[in-house]
Structure 1
Amino acid sequence: MKIHNNYNPVARSVKFALAASLCISASVAVAQEQQTADATKEKAVEKIAVVGSRSAPRSIGDSPVPIDIIGGEELSKNGSTDMLNLITTTVPSLNVHSNPISDAATLVRPMNLRGLSADSTLILTNGKRRHKSSVIAFLGGGINDGAQGADVSVIPGIALKQVEILRDGAAAQYGSDAIAGVINFVLKNADQGGSFEVKHGEYYEGDGTSTEFAGNIGMPLTDNGFVNASFQYKNVDPTSRSEQRPDAQAFADGGNPNIAPIAQVWGSPEISDDLTIFINSGLDLGNGREAYLFGNYSERDVTGGFYYRNPYNRGGVFSNDGGETLLIGNTDLAAGACPTIGLKDGSGSNLPFDAVNSAVGALPSNCFTFFSMFPGGFTPTFGGNVTDTSITAGTKGAFKSGMLEDILYDFSGSVGRNESSYMMTNTINASLGLDSPTEFNPGKYIQLEKNFTADFVKFVPAGLYEDLTVAFGAQWTEETFEVVAGDSASFEVGQFVDQGFSIGSNGFPGFKPEDAGVSSRRNYAFYTDIEAEMTEALLMGFALRFEDYDTFGSTLNYKLTAQYRLTDDWAVRGSHSTGFRAPTVGQANVSNVQTNLESGLLVDSALLPPTNPVSIELGGSELQPEESTSFAAGVVYSGGDIFMTLDYYRIDVDDRISQSSKINLTDANREALKAAGVKNVDSIQQVSFFTNDFDTKTQGIDFVASYSTYLLEGRSSFNFAYNWNDTSVKSATAITGLDKVSRLENDLPNHRATLTWNQSYDDWSVFVRTNYFGEYQGVHVDWVGTPSEPGTEVNAKAKVTFDAEFSYFINDEFVVSLGAQNIFDTKPERLNLSAVGEPNNAFGGKYYETSPMGINGGYYYLKGTYKF
């Protein structure tokens, strides 16, 4: 076999230019775009990815690991304005739930790649690590309980050149969090032209109306650089897929005029003033050097719903004996005891509204009940403001002389900050009595991350088919999580707590000053990444990464990759790696009180740090990193206009970090804690904490195929993607709980697939997508049963939906598009709770919220685009 001349100056120049394109300069970008435009006239453009290799960028067919690339144009063919929805319609191994009532997860929805938690996928922007969200998904539907991932929703589609999704463990290359894979958002880098879009749509039900304005512009930065700026501004109305709760309807039928038409709403939240701005820039400094800078500012207000507070039996507010009598407060104990007001008749049925209301009206002046303030009960509204900012700056090039000659370098620093400020309305701090406000600011979480990296690449002649690529570097990171206390009324212990009234803003009590504070952690890493084209047919790679954290210590991980080309069209590939995910600073230090459902009843539960004495009493301990082992093997075919990949993967994760099940404190627990000097133990009913408690095995198959041709006198492209994914819990204790085991194994569908057809002509185009969602575990109100107590879960049926978009090119500048998602309005699995002895839709929902296709149904939209 012929050996290339490793000292050929032309070949080495080309190699250096390709490697330098890891952060593409403006001059290169213009040339690439022109080449791309010319190439599309002849054949489909080869998709090139930066992620997954520290050598020169590779086509996805030549990569030894599976990579999906979603182009900016494909992202635009979607009615949704949420980036999570945009990419899940293309990558079947990526799932996102609607999370209609889920505390902070309403503000930032978690995603799942290959069935693992949201924080098991590393997010990059232009190849640089992106900071995490400040939101911790306390109610994460089992799979994401306690997950703290990046807020992908702030990234607008119009700002992106492409999205690269590495479906393979990569912690040895990129560090913590890359257990399931890596998603790299590549920003546009054109120095001229741009576009402006207006999109308006709504669901078939007539709600969820969305209006979006988005724009992108490329500008030169002197003669040797570029500034590419993008913005998106949108407002989205809420949706409701709800029916009246049976208990609320019974009150209305009994003559209570204060019952809302829908007492509890299941649907998407309202998103207001959602503004995001992204800037990407680069400057050629001459002599092979360049500088780059990119960042964003994003802000939005989100408002969602909570659970309905029944005016007869809500504990700590209306009744403390399950609805037998009203809870009545006494403002002047010297004036005498307050009378008892019963809520049941002789048969055990609720008394009519008039009877209860008359008795409340006759109470002495020193007696009060919240029935007089909320005679129809109340439903708290939960929301907040999410602000996300980041900036990354760096310089890169090649050393020209000395002992470092011909070594490529990339020095960068980044700062990312995400702040979630919470708001509660239409609720009370019952312990304050009737003087309680009904609006509260429970406080805020702030996530701040700083990253500094030094990356180097050296091409070493080694007598192989190509020069040996040796990459090495270092990284320093500081992660800070801050809890800011809420307003005093949101956590204050009022004078009526001794009379049985609950403390704090009902539904989400505020963060107390003693819970507030800043927690930080620093770590440094060293890595090496070697890639060798041993022969014309064989590519091999090895990566090794050492990281040291000032909390739990150090970790060492490796990765092996290989691809062997059997023929010009066929290749086989495989990888093996170890990985880790460090517990976030927030997971190790956060405390919170949340309202959840246990066996169908609302219960307040305290989340405490794992090192809190209460947590330790119940089995908690300091968090350690998750550890993973991954294996993957696949085959690639790239002949003519057909491209196919088939990959099998297995990911074993030990000591997974998650929120424990809710544990009831026993009298013995309380006595032991009091003896240890722990205060306020009597007020705690349930406790949860973060823990390394269970191990999982995830395996699956990804099949991807694409075909381009001329059909029906136009240009046609077909893309098919299929994923089979199965997660099993290998070991767990009672701290995890059988309900979470069931959710981890069954909530996500084992089978997902998409088939798209894009047909283009000179004046118009049409895009059609078919989505298949396999069977899944339908769960309502997070209530999963046990062998002794059945829950709400069912085996939900598979569904097929269709999306379509028609575009008409008025001229070279103006395009009008009309489209619909779930065009036939296919409904998700309908609730049926009667099998477990509960009335159908006991909590007001219509559909199981674990539906992988969402619960909102069909959506149509109209879009206008101006390109310049």
Structure 2
Amino acid sequence: MKISLTRLSLGAALVWAPFPALAQTATESGDAAEPGADIIVTGTRAAGRSRLDSASPVDVLSANSLRQQGTTELGTALAAVAPSIDFPRPSAVDGTDAIRPATLRGLSPDATLVLINGVRGHSAALLNTNGAVGRGSAAVDLNTVPTVALETIEVLRDGASAQYGSDAIAGVVNLRLRKARSGGGASVTYGLYDTDVDTARGSRSVTGERAITASAWQGFGFGEDGYLTVSGEYVNRDATNRADFDPRVTPSRVTGRFGDPAVEQYSLWANAGTSVGDNWQLYGWLGYQHRESESAAFPRLPSAAAAVSELYPDGFLPLINTRSKDLNSALGLKGDLGDWNVDVNVSYGRNRIDFRTLNSANYSYGNESQTDFYDGALIYDQLVGGVDVSRKFDVFQSLNLAFGVEARREGYEIKAGEPASYGYADNPVAGAAPGAQGFLGFSPLNEVSRHRGNQSVYLDLEAQVTDKLLVGLAGRGEHYSDFGSTGTGKLSLRYDFSPAFAVRGTASTGFRAPSLQQQYFTSVSSVVQNGVPILTGTYPSTSDVAVALGGKKLQPEKSTNLSAGFVVRSGGFDLTVDGYRIHLRDQLGLSENIQASFSSQVADLLAPFNVSAARFFINGLASTTKGIDAVAHYRLHAGENTFDLTLAGNVNDVKVTKVPTSTSVLDPAPTLFARSRILTIEQGTPGEKVTGSVDWSNGPLGATLRATYYGDVLQAGTTAANDYNTGAHTITDLELRYQPAKGAQVAIGASNLFDVYPHKVPAALNSTGVLGFPYYSPFGFNGRYLYVRAGFNW
């Protein structure tokens, strides 16, 4: 499918819009820096380059623009101000309810590299295996870094694998931590929902579901230039519920819980640095987060819970409890070695997620069943060491040469839960299913402990050939212990016709290594039939079961990226417009279940393993993404009033161009990728998103008015008759504040001021009443949120 005329017209409208901008920075007092003055470190290794001087599009977002919102989640706040980023809020999809992935330019969440202070961050241990946007991905959890710990965020909207390695196909998000030798602040945000919920089968009003966030930071100075900035945040958020009325009960009532999980979390971060000798600096950071969340599975009515009727005479609602412990740390030394700038660093990150099923039962135990279960754990860790060297030469007008090496070790584990979470009782109730209802625990069959190593080397050249022409060339070679070697390259060009107008473009190749989670995640359950255990579930592609069906060792995804655009700037106005084309091949996908009932051939292949159905990851999908990003900004001074006007938009079109229909063993194979999977890739994120905002300040007084338009999103079913849409909607946010540089501060605001919801899930497609609204909705489905924030800076 080509980009529609409507989308191109929207892109043109963005280009010629008379008022503007997304990219801006701000001081702690809220004063924005002059447009275009933002010095970037992402996408270039040449010192002193600003976002408007770069050959690739880079947004520089102030942490203040993220904190001056109702939400305190980084992922949600980032999506509100960056049109190319989406952060849907899935529900009823197990662990993905609690650890939600973000997308850039509509690509898979793991196609975006996340850096912390320029150092590779680690992904979450969770693999998204259910039907949410980002199915099959293991991505970085942006919400592990609180906004109070951040100074700015840089979003590189361009392929950058040749510069940074695996995952940077869609782009790079660089989280830059706060650096302060003095000062500090504390704030408390309290909010609640005040909304009218109109589902297909009825209406109700909700006032409550409160959220509290308390945060603080303090800068400490020591020595001549040493700094230590400590930040902390505590969040306590109620669950939300936007389920429909259940038609299976009389009188009809809401029996499910469909919405955001209940969350309690705390985060602690420290960022430090100091000079060591005349020309060297020691630096490092340490961050830890503990998050406990509680989401709901589908309700079990009394008719389905007969085996445990004494425990739950009225049925029950299983709750899925996740406890995520996340560690980020780094230590580095940088300085001058002769004419060379050298940066040596090592980082370590670890994420452990423990699962519990609460308010549940194992039917095979009958009324003797326990009600709470420990289901096991997922663990991922990453150790990275790197050396980066750069030097500027007096060649042409200037030549910046950078090169470096990096070594990485990754580990992944699955630990089993207690036997009752996955297995049968010794004397099971006849015909009863094993394991905890709502979330089946990991059994010893699923236990995994795998590691791999990676080494890489890169070379990056950036030459200012003339006053007008900038040329960049980068290349990177990588070797992985599991699949071998790969190489990528990038060419960047920029030509400044005048100080007010420049054109720029890039061409690059990229790759994304299959994650350990994709290679080794195992979730196999056992059901006894006629005294024989029959297995079904998700297997590694190299397991005996998968190989019997044609599974192979996973290979990296590869991409070809092209972009071209222009930059306009005049006084307080700047505008960037960039078009892009990203072609992905050898794309990874999690197959559908291959059932023994499909054919006698499949049955014969699975019979030796006592397996009735299996699914696994497969290379072979291909897609092409085309789009336009437009970002404009104008800063207007009118007496004592300052207005920052913003308009930014993204028009995006994704088309799947190849879908595997066979394996090395099965030809033809059963459907490997259902239409819902393909349509989710193509239409699971909005094709158009436009954000316009006005920031006003007059001394300590300020206000922000933001409107975000989201194009329609399709939540596809097994057939066209089961599809439903979110619809196109505009969400309006408003905040009023009194915010002096020092002293007491207060703000009041509303997110989704006009209480807008996505389209309802049709009653005919919602037999249980659980799904009130599409969980593909890019702005969620919680309605109007009112909040107040009080704080004090010193």
Same fold (TM over 0.5): yes
1:662 aligns to what?
A: 593
Alpha-carbon distance change, 580 to 810 in structure 1, aligned in 2, over 3 angstroms: closer
Instruction: Kindly provide the CA deviation profile for residues 712-747 of structure 1, in whole angstroms up to 9, marking residues without a partner as x.
Output: 751111011110011010010331222211111112
1:152 equivalent in alignment to 2:146: no
Structure in which a larger fraction of residues adopt strand: 2
Q: CA deviation at 1:665?
A: 2.6
**Which residue of 16, 38, 49 corresponds with 2:40?**
49
Which sits farther off after the overlay, 703-712 or 797-806? Answer: 703-712
Cα distance in structure 1, aligned partners of 2:424 and 2:455:
43
Instruction: Kindly provide the CA deviation profile for residues 802-853 of structure 1, in whole angstroms up to 9, marking residues without a partner as x.
Output: 111101247841111011111111122122243xxx5x66433322221112
Query: Residue 581 of structure 2 contacts residue 627 of structure 2 at CA under 8 Å; is this kept in 1?
Result: yes
Q: CA deviation at 1:865?
A: 1.9
Which runs of no fewer than 5 residues in structure 1 stay unpaired? 1-32, 254-260, 319-368, 401-405, 596-603
Alpha-carbon distance change, 712 to 767 in structure 1, aligned in 2, over 3 angstroms: farther
1:606 equivalent in alignment to 2:537: yes
Query: Residue 521 of structure 1 contacts residue 549 of structure 1 at CA under 8 Å; is this kept in 2?
Result: yes
Cα distance in structure 2, aligned partners of 1:739 and 1:47:
42
Which sits farther off after the overlay, 706-715 or 170-179? Answer: 706-715
Q: CA deviation at 1:371?
A: 3.8
1:413 aligns to what?
A: 346
Comparing both chains, which one has the higher relative contact order based on Cα–Cα distances under 8 Å and sequence gaps of 6 or more? 2
Which sits farther off after the overlay, 104-113 or 846-855? Answer: 846-855
1:708 equivalent in alignment to 2:635: yes
2:58 aligns to what?
A: 67
2:736 aligns to what?
A: 806
1:220 aligns to what?
A: 221
Alpha-carbon distance change, 730 to 43 in structure 1, aligned in 2, over 3 angstroms: closer
**AA matched with 2:777:** S
Instruction: Kindly provide the CA deviation profile for residues 518-571 of structure 1, in whole angstroms up to 9, marking residues without a partner as x.
Output: 100101001101110000111110110000011110000001111110111000
**Which residue of 437, 451, 455 corresponds with 2:384?**
451
1:187 aligns to what?
A: 177
Alpha-carbon distance change, 234 to 151 in structure 1, aligned in 2, over 3 angstroms: same
1:241 equivalent in alignment to 2:242: yes
Cα distance in structure 1, aligned partners of 2:58 and 2:771:
38
Following superposition of structure 1 onto structure 2, how do residues 473-552 of structure 1 map, counting pairs within 5 Å?
473-496=404-427, 499-552=430-483
**AA matched with 1:299:** H
Cα distance in structure 2, aligned partners of 1:605 and 1:90:
43
Alpha-carbon distance change, 514 to 221 in structure 1, aligned in 2, over 3 angstroms: farther
Cα distance in structure 2, aligned partners of 1:669 and 1:421:
39
Instruction: Kindly provide the CA deviation profile for residues 202-251 of structure 1, in whole angstroms up to 9, marking residues without a partner as x.
Output: 1113233111110111101323310011000110001011222111x24x
1:263 aligns to what?
A: 255
Considering only aligned residues, what root-mean-square deviation do their CA atoms show, in Å? Answer: 2.3
1:398 aligns to what?
A: 336
**AA matched with 1:865:** G
Cα distance in structure 2, aligned partners of 1:571 and 1:625:
35
1:432 aligns to what?
A: 365
Cα distance in structure 1, aligned partners of 2:169 and 2:674:
24
Alpha-carbon distance change, 201 to 392 in structure 1, aligned in 2, over 3 angstroms: same
Alpha-carbon distance change, 851 to 712 in structure 1, aligned in 2, over 3 angstroms: farther
**AA matched with 1:469:** N
1:672 aligns to what?
A: 604
Query: Residue 289 of structure 1 contacts residue 397 of structure 1 at CA under 8 Å; is this kept in 2?
Result: yes
Cα distance in structure 2, aligned partners of 1:60 and 1:244:
50
2:505 aligns to what?
A: 574
Between the two proteins, what is the percent identity of the paired residues? 31
Query: Residue 29 of structure 2 contacts residue 740 of structure 2 at CA under 8 Å; is this kept in 1?
Result: no
1:696 equivalent in alignment to 2:623: yes
Instruction: Kindly provide the CA deviation profile for residues 591-630 of structure 1, in whole angstroms up to 9, marking residues without a partner as x.
Output: 11599xxxxxxxx961111122332333422211101110
Alpha-carbon distance change, 213 to 45 in structure 1, aligned in 2, over 3 angstroms: farther
TM-score relative to the length of structure 2: 0.90
Alpha-carbon distance change, 38 to 399 in structure 1, aligned in 2, over 3 angstroms: farther
1:377 equivalent in alignment to 2:309: no
Query: Residue 641 of structure 1 contacts residue 707 of structure 1 at CA under 8 Å; is this kept in 2?
Result: yes
Q: Give the match's secondary structure for 2:446.
A: coil
2:201 aligns to what?
A: none
Q: CA deviation at 1:513?
A: 2.1
Cα distance in structure 2, aligned partners of 1:43 and 1:391:
33
Moved over 6 A (4+): 35-42
Q: CA deviation at 1:74?
A: 1.1
Alpha-carbon distance change, 692 to 497 in structure 1, aligned in 2, over 3 angstroms: farther
Cα distance in structure 2, aligned partners of 1:444 and 1:296:
21
Cα distance in structure 2, aligned partners of 1:148 and 1:858:
31
2:697 aligns to what?
A: 760
Query: Residue 75 of structure 2 contacts residue 87 of structure 2 at CA under 8 Å; is this kept in 1?
Result: yes
Alpha-carbon distance change, 427 to 687 in structure 1, aligned in 2, over 3 angstroms: farther
Q: Give the match's secondary structure for 1:150.
A: coil
Which runs of no fewer than 5 residues in structure 2 stay unpaired? 1-24, 195-205, 527-534, 661-670
1:687 aligns to what?
A: 614
Alpha-carbon distance change, 37 to 93 in structure 1, aligned in 2, over 3 angstroms: closer
Query: Residue 298 of structure 2 contacts residue 770 of structure 2 at CA under 8 Å; is this kept in 1?
Result: no
Following superposition of structure 1 onto structure 2, how do residues 710-789 of structure 1 map, counting pairs within 5 Å?
710-711=637-638, 713-733=640-660, 734-778=671-715, 784-786=717-719
Q: CA deviation at 1:45?
A: 6.7
Which sits farther off after the overlay, 514-523 or 115-124? Answer: 514-523
Cα distance in structure 2, aligned partners of 1:718 and 1:433:
63
1:197 aligns to what?
A: 187
Q: Give the match's secondary structure for 2:83.
A: coil
1:403 aligns to what?
A: none
Q: Give the match's secondary structure for 1:208.
A: strand
Q: CA deviation at 1:434?
A: 3.0
Q: Give the match's secondary structure for 1:863.
A: strand
Query: Residue 203 of structure 1 contacts residue 857 of structure 1 at CA under 8 Å; is this kept in 2?
Result: yes
Cα distance in structure 2, aligned partners of 1:155 and 1:235:
16
Q: CA deviation at 1:489?
A: 1.4
**AA matched with 2:566:** V
Cα distance in structure 2, aligned partners of 1:164 and 1:41:
16
Q: Give the match's secondary structure for 2:316.
A: coil
Instruction: Kindly provide the CA deviation profile for residues 741-792 of structure 1, in whole angstroms up to 9, marking residues without a partner as x.
Output: 111111211100100101110241111101101122145xxxx1326xx31x
Query: Residue 107 of structure 1 contacts residue 386 of structure 1 at CA under 8 Å; is this kept in 2?
Result: no
Cα distance in structure 2, aligned partners of 1:761 and 1:224:
33
Which one has a bigger Cα radius of gyration? 1
Instruction: Kindly provide the CA deviation profile for residues 131-188 of structure 1, in whole angstroms up to 9, marking residues without a partner as x.
Output: 11111111152x4112101111011111111000000010111010111100000011
The number of residue pairs the alignment matches comes to 740
Which sits farther off after the overlay, 90-99 or 617-626? Answer: 617-626
Q: Give the match's secondary structure for 1:408.
A: strand
2:667 aligns to what?
A: none
**Which residue of 727, 738, 750 corresponds with 1:797?**
727
1:298 equivalent in alignment to 2:299: no
Alpha-carbon distance change, 39 to 668 in structure 1, aligned in 2, over 3 angstroms: closer
Q: Give the match's secondary structure for 1:49.
A: coil
Alpha-carbon distance change, 802 to 621 in structure 1, aligned in 2, over 3 angstroms: same
**AA matched with 1:703:** A
Query: Residue 64 of structure 1 contacts residue 563 of structure 1 at CA under 8 Å; is this kept in 2?
Result: yes
2:200 aligns to what?
A: none
**AA matched with 1:767:** T
Cα distance in structure 1, aligned partners of 2:126 and 2:257:
22
1:96 aligns to what?
A: 87
**AA matched with 1:102:** V
Query: Residue 242 of structure 1 contacts residue 845 of structure 1 at CA under 8 Å; is this kept in 2?
Result: yes
**AA matched with 2:71:** S
1:848 equivalent in alignment to 2:774: yes
2:326 aligns to what?
A: 388
1:863 aligns to what?
A: 789
Q: CA deviation at 1:373?
A: 3.6
Cα distance in structure 2, aligned partners of 1:41 and 1:96:
26
Which sits farther off after the overlay, 639-648 or 709-718? Answer: 709-718
Query: Residue 509 of structure 1 contacts residue 593 of structure 1 at CA under 8 Å; is this kept in 2?
Result: no
Query: Residue 649 of structure 2 contacts residue 690 of structure 2 at CA under 8 Å; is this kept in 1?
Result: yes
